[in-house]
Amino acid sequence: MVNRAGFGISPASVADEFALNYDDLLNQLFLKSENFVPINIIPEHEFANYSHWQRGNDKVQNRRSFRKANMKIGNQWLHEMAFGEAQLRERMAFFWHDHFACKSFFPSLWQKQLNMLRENALGFFGDLVYNIAHDPAMINYLNIRKNVKGQANEDFGRELLELFTVGVGKYSEKDVKEVARAFTGWRFKVSDGSFFIDEKRHDDGLKTFFGFTDYFNGDDILNIIFQREDSGEYIVGKIYHYLTGLEIEPAYLKVLSKSFYKSKYHIGRLVKKILSEDQFKISINQRVKSPIDLIAGLMRFTGIRFEDADFSYRIQSRLGQILGEPPNVSGWISGTQWLDLGSLAERINLCGELLLKAKLTNKITLNSDPELTVNHKTKFIKISHSLQDLKLLFDQFDEFSPAEQLIQLMLGTTFSNSDQLIQFYEKKPLKENMMSLKRAIIRIAALPEYQLN
Contact 228, 257 (CB under 8 A): no
Q: What digits encode the pLDDT tens for the residues 23-55?
A: 999 999 999 999 999 999 999 999 998 998 776
> Tell me, what's the pLDDT at 299?
95
Lowest mean pLDDT among 93-102, 339-348, 350-359, 400-409: 350-359
Q: Is residue 422 part of a domain?
A: yes
Write the CA distances from 54 to 142, 218, 297, 303, integer angstroms. Answer: 22, 31, 38, 39
> Tell me, what's the pLDDT at 383?
62
Q: What digits encode the pLDDT tens for the residues 277-323?
A: 998 988 888 899 999 999 999 999 999 999 899 999 999 999 999 99
Write the CA distances from 110 to 62, 138, 334, 433, integer angstroms. Answer: 16, 9, 23, 44
Q: Which of residues 73 and 379 earns the better pLDDT score?
A: 73
Alpha helices for 320-417 (secondary structure H): 341-356, 388-396, 402-411
Amino acid letter at 89? R
> Tell me, what's the pLDDT at 425?
78
Average pLDDT, integer, range 190-203: 96
> Tell me, what's the pLDDT at 164?
98
> Tell me, what's the pLDDT at 381?
54
Write the CA distances from 171 to 3, 18, 138, 157, 159, integer angstroms. Answer: 36, 48, 22, 11, 12
Q: How many CA atoms lie within 13 A of 154 on its CB side?
A: 10
Lowest mean pLDDT among 119-123, 215-219, 269-273, 383-387: 383-387
> Tell me, what's the pLDDT at 60?
75
Range of the domain at 412: 388-451
Q: Is residue 56 part of a domain?
A: no
Q: Percentages helix, strand, coil for the chain, rounded to the nearest 5? A: 60, 5, 35
pLDDT at 395 over 60: yes
CA-wise closest residue to 64 among 347, 374, 277: 374
> Tell me, what's the pLDDT at 360?
44
> Tell me, what's the pLDDT at 382?
54
Decide which of 191, 207, 225 is a domain's last residue: 225
Instruction: Output the CA angle 175-129-117, nearest 5 degrees.
Output: 150
Share of residues in the chain with pLDDT > 70 (%): 91
Write the CA distances from 376 to 66, 362, 373, integer angstroms. Answer: 19, 5, 10
Q: Which of residues 368 and 109 earns the better pLDDT score?
A: 109
Q: Which of residues 195 and 282 earns the better pLDDT score?
A: 195
Write the CA distances from 180 to 128, 200, 221, 319, 385, integer angstroms. Answer: 19, 16, 10, 37, 50
- What span, in angstroms and rounded, lies between the C-alpha atoms of 180 and 115? 27
CA-wise closest residue to 276 among 85, 86, 25, 31: 25
> Tell me, what's the pLDDT at 371?
42
Lowest mean pLDDT among 67-71, 97-101, 307-311, 394-398: 394-398
Q: Is residue 220 part of a domain?
A: yes
Amino acid letter at 410? M
pLDDT at 362 over 90: no
Q: End-to-end distance of the chain based on CA atoms, in angstroms?
A: 9
> Tell me, what's the pLDDT at 399?
80
Band of the pLDDT at 388, cuts 50, 70, 90?
confident
Q: Is residue 149 part of a domain?
A: yes
pLDDT at 266 over 90: yes
The mean predicted confidence, pLDDT, of the chain is: 90
Average pLDDT, integer, range 70-91: 98
Q: Which of residues 381 and 238 earns the better pLDDT score?
A: 238
> Tell me, what's the pLDDT at 384?
64
pLDDT at 344 over 70: yes
CA-wise closest residue to 103 among 327, 292, 407: 327
Share of residues in the chain with pLDDT > 90 (%): 70
Lowest mean pLDDT among 139-148, 192-201, 389-398: 389-398
pLDDT at 331 over 50: yes
Average pLDDT, integer, range 255-276: 98
Alpha helices for 123-244 (secondary structure H): 125-133, 136-141, 155-159, 173-182, 218-227, 233-244
Q: What is the domain count for the chain? A: 2
Decide which of 171, 202, 225 is a domain's last residue: 225
Contact 107, 82 (CB under 8 A): no
H and E: helices and strands count for the chain:
21, 6
Q: Is residue 158 part of a domain?
A: yes
Decide which of 173, 208, 225 is a domain's last residue: 225
Alpha helices for 375-417 (secondary structure H): 388-396, 402-411
- What span, in angstroms and rounded, lies between the C-alpha atoms of 310 and 74? 10
